[in-house]
Amino acid sequence: MTTMFKSILIVCCFALPSTVFAADNATELKAASPQQVTVSAAPVEAIPKPAAAVQTAHIGYVDINRVGKESERGKALTVLLSAKKDMYQEKIDAKKKQLDKLRASIEAKIASLTPEQREAKSKEFQKKVEAFQKFAQASEGDLMALQDKESRALFEAIEQAAVAHGKANGFAAIVIKKELLYVGSSVDAQDVTDPLIKSLNQADQKK
């Protein structure tokens, strides 16, 4: 009985680990089964992209008509052109009066003149009329040339003042007001007429 009991006990002792190992393996397989494994992952939030920095463009615009009327140089040009126009107009008026006087003299004597004399007087009067027309055209041409020359000089001075003001104040561009047809929301448009007039006046005072 004793020997048999020991044999049964030895068999049980060696059988027990096998059973335990089998149970453990079953547990591991059960845990590793894809039907039983639940993988939880935290949702990945979208990383917001940094907003692109919107750069505001600074654009200036200038009223050329105001510069011509209000700047000292523009006023001086207006006075100069007006004086030249008046001078030419006085000469034209004087020559026209001479023509009117000559015509009246010829008409008063026309009845007493021979056909040859009438033709001679007509040619003489026609030459004076042509000379008068040439003088009037030349006067107008001289006045227009002077206006063009001085206007160009004034515009160049405005351009120089615009360049200096634009660089000093960080403007991307300075344009003529009438050419500014549309301005977007990202553009800072400013009227720079007053500072340009001031700059022109200061430049003229230094001369």
Encode pLDDT of 65-75 as tens digits.
999 999 999 99
pLDDT, mean of residues 164-171? 95
pLDDT per residue as tens digits for the range 16-62: 344 433 444 444 434 444 444 444 444 545 555 555 555 788 999 99
Whole-structure pTM value: 0.65
| Nearest Cα residue to 165 out of 191, 204, 184 | 191
Domain count along the chain: 1
Considering the domain boundaries, does residue 8 fall inside one?
A: no
Provide, rounded to the nearest whole percent, the portion of the chain with pLDDT above 90.
Answer: 63
Residue 60: how many CB atoms within 10 A of its CB? 23
User: How far apart (Å, rounded) are the C-alpha atoms in residues 122 and 15?
Assistant: 156
Considering the domain boundaries, does residue 90 fall inside one?
A: yes
Q: Is the pLDDT of residue 119 over 80?
A: yes
Show the domain range for 137: 57-206
Residue 203 is predicted with a pLDDT of 87
Considering the domain boundaries, does residue 32 fall inside one?
A: no
User: How far apart (Å, rounded) are the C-alpha atoms in residues 59 and 170?
Assistant: 9
Residue 53 is predicted with a pLDDT of 54
Q: Is the pLDDT of residue 147 over 80?
A: yes
Considering the domain boundaries, does residue 14 fall inside one?
A: no
Provide the CATH number for the domain around residue 83.
3.30.910.20
Residue 188 is predicted with a pLDDT of 92
Considering the domain boundaries, does residue 80 fall inside one?
A: yes
| Nearest Cα residue to 183 out of 44, 58, 6 | 58
Considering the domain boundaries, does residue 95 fall inside one?
A: yes
Q: Is the pLDDT of residue 169 over 70?
A: yes
Considering the domain boundaries, does residue 178 fall inside one?
A: yes
pLDDT, mean of residues 81-108? 95
**Residues whose CB falls within 8 Å of the CB of residue 92, separated by 6 or more in sequence, listed in order:** 132, 135, 136, 139
